[in-house]
Amino acid sequence: MTTPPECSFSFSTAQANKVFPNSHVDSLVLALLAGIPPQPGWEGCLVFQAGSQPSDVRVGLRGPAALAIRDCLVDSITRIGIDLLPQEDDDELAMEAPIARIEGGAWC
């Protein structure tokens, strides 16, 4: 069985709180996903919190369009003024908490 593609990106919790005060990572990512309509071929993709530290958030993506969705999220997050943090390779992303997935052509 083929493993679905995985990728991730990280950003600073402090910087995110300056842009969206008292916002939890789920709320921020869901708000960004609301502006990204699912495309054909994205079905089954999962967005999740992965291996975050108190000072930063790591968002993981898994599924056939993980890279495309990551690119959309990265564009959205940097456009609102939150810089990305350098990170390690995407080997073995551990899912801490699911945020959203695409089912029936919609985020849920």
d(CA 98, CA 101): 8
Rounded distance between C-alpha atoms, residue 81 and residue 33, angstroms:
16
Q: In the prediction, which pLDDT does 83 show? A: 92
d(CA 64, CA 68): 9
99 falls within a domain: yes
Structural domains counted in the chain? 1
Q: Is residue 1 part of a domain?
A: no
Domain carrying residue 24 = 6-107
Q: What is the CATH number of the domain that holds 99?
A: 3.30.70
Alpha-carbon distance of 100 to 108, in angstroms, equals 5
- In this prediction the pTM is 0.90
Query: Using one digit for the tens of pLDDT, what is the confidence trace for 28-64?
Result: 999 999 999 999 999 999 999 987 677 888 999 999 9
**Is 17 inside any structural domain?**
yes
Range 61-89 average pLDDT? 92
Q: Give a yes or no: residue 60 inside a domain.
A: yes
Percent of the chain scoring above 90 in pLDDT: 66
Please say if the pLDDT value at position 23 is more than 90. Answer: no
